Amino acid sequence: MSEPQTGTDRPLVVVTGASSGIGAASARALAADGWHPVLGARRADRLEEVAAEVGGTALTLDVTDPDSVAAFVAGVGDLVRGGQPLRGLVNNAGGAKGTETVMEADEDKWRWMWESNVLGTLRVTKGLLPMLIDSGDGHVVTITSIAGLEVYDGGSGYTAAKHAEGALHRTLRGELLGQPVRVTEIAPGAVETEFSLVRFGGDEERAAKVYQGIEPLTAGDVAEVVAFAMSRPSHVNLDTIVLKPRAQATGMRFHRET
């Protein structure tokens, strides 16, 4: 992975799932705001490209693997000891697999969704919280989904995981009272990224139909909200931000142009 870029006065912000989509876009937006992104993801080649583009540091990370998370946290710790405080964490890694009903549920897909969305967020947050607190002005942003606020047919595995991730994140709000750490949940609706492609096992035609007839959010739209939340004064905590395309009312209700 890339050599740590120490000796700058930019505060560190960790972004997980940063090799593409919302994670990569968030790294770009935060770098433009004066942060030093520390990018974590499994796809090392794409991660290196984004890190080079934004002047950040790439560290391989698989949030479903406790050993990988431990090594990643240690790498961030090396940067902090080099003189750069860790002031930000954007929990973005996660995803969905399948649209089976409860009666047809695939436990392997459920297990992956819980590992990546819930336990992955737990592992990274738990590992980095001490450094965020020590910075004197930390901020945890978790990208959940409107699937963490509602349910829909065929989405039980993903909505269950996102509800759990949201509950984990919101619990921090009370547990960190009195500590110098802000906590923001960002819950997007339909965003056109690789999300649907992963969910449908690489079926490009099926993935494209999700966004047919609407103008979905882009990864950049969500990244701008991440950067805005993290640029507020230290005493301002934006607890929960929900954003959807204008053409979307709920997880399953859209106005589609024909």
Q: How is 58-93 classified by DSSP, letter by letter? A: EEE--TT-HHHHHHHHHHHHHHHHTT--EEEEEE--
Average pLDDT for 205-213: 74
Q: How far is CA 152 from each of CA 79, 100, 187, rounded to the nearest angstrom?
A: 42, 11, 16
Residue pair 218/21 in contact (Cβ under 8 Å)? The answer is: no
pLDDT at 95: 92
The reported pLDDT for the residue numbered 201 is 66
Domain limits for position 37: 12-243
Q: Is residue 255 part of a domain?
A: no
pLDDT(198) > 80: no
Instruction: Decide if 176 is inside a domain.
Output: yes
Q: pLDDT tens-digit profile of 9-46?
A: 799 999 999 999 999 999 999 999 999 999 999 999 99
Query: Phi and psi of 142, rounded to 5°?
Result: -120, 125
**Residue 141 in domain:** yes
Output the CA torsion sign for 149, 173, 186, 107: negative
Average pLDDT over residues 114-123: 98
Whether 203 maps to a domain, the answer reads yes
Mean pLDDT of 93-119: 95
Cα separation, 232 vs 172, in Å, equals 19
Residue 184 has pLDDT above 90, yes or no: yes
In the predicted model, what is the mean pLDDT of residues 160-175?
A: 97
Gap between the Cα atoms of 147 and 156, Å rounded: 9
pTM greater than 0.85: yes
How many structural domains comprise the chain?
1
Task: Determine, yes or no, domain membership for 224.
Answer: yes
**Stretch 200-224: mean pLDDT:** 81
What is the pLDDT confidence band of residue 209, given thresholds at 50, 70 and 90?
Answer: confident
User: Which range (235-239, 241-245, 248-252) has the least confidence?
Assistant: 248-252
Residue 182 belongs to some domain of the structure: yes
Active-site positions? 158
Average pLDDT score over residue span 143-155:
95
CA–CA distance, 182 with 141 (Å, rounded to integer): 8
Task: Report residue 19 as tokens.
Answer: 């090799």
What pLDDT sits at residue 7? 44
Query: Per the domain annotation, does 250 fall within a domain?
Result: no
Q: Is residue 251 part of a domain?
A: no
Q: What's the pLDDT band for 54 if we cut at 50, 70, 90?
A: very high
> In CATH, what number is assigned to the domain containing residue 158?
3.40.50.720
